[in-house]
Amino acid sequence: MGELTYKQESDICLSCGECCKRYSITILPEEAIIIAKKLKISRKKFLEEHCELFVKIYPKSTPGILTYSTAFFPKRTGEVLLNYLNYLPPSFFVVPQIALKRKEGECRYLNKNNSCKIYGERPFPCRLFPFMVVPGYEENYPFCELFRKTRKNYSAKSREYRKKMKKYFEEVNKKGFVKVWKYPPTKGKLFLNELLIAGLTLKQLNKMMTSKPTAQIHE
């Protein structure tokens, strides 16, 4: 398995584009600023019109970062979880992120020729794909011809991304989701583990991330 030239890699990607059609891409706050500047719009407009909430939750029984009591979840959210799990765990690990909105089932920035409208400012997951250094990931990319034909060592960049994600989650845990983003989108998706289970509003997310025993308000 030899090295490919930049043009060979580009030709393979431009003849495919499957990754842009398959995945939702999450972004970091600093990436929102960079992409908004590229699009020549305000960060507020970019987050409101080009992005959506993308929240994954995982049952968790022990205290820790971004872990919240199910007792304070909105009533509707609790009902949806009960329907899927047949019980309600005492708490959940809540992973609140923002993703680029998709358009007609694919990345909104994908051109008809499979080129990217924001290539120079594309988010970290796009830059690393398909060479994220995670054991077993090869099985997730059977469609990717580039991954079959070459390998790159992106371990340093992958570590850099993991550090950025760790810092992001620590800041959200300390400051709160809205303060970290300032202008987050008001709607999006809720996932139980990796399964999409419901739509989600910012108001619902804020209630889910309640950490103090205040009076509960159900929706």
Q: pLDDT by residue (tens digit) across 167-186?
A: 999 999 999 999 999 999 99
Q: Decide: 193 and 58 in contact? Cβ < 8 Å.
A: yes
Ramachandran sector of residue 34 (left: φ over 0; alpha: ψ -120 to 50; beta: rest): alpha
Reduced to 3 states, what is the DSSP secondary structure of residue 175?
Answer: helix
CA angle 176, 60, 208 (to 5 degrees): 35
Q: 57, exposed or middle or buried, with CB in 10 Å at 0-12, 13-18, 19+? A: buried
Q: Which pLDDT does position 219 carry in this prediction? A: 34
What pTM did the predictor assign? 0.89
Q: How many helices (H) and strands (E) does the chain have?
A: 10, 8
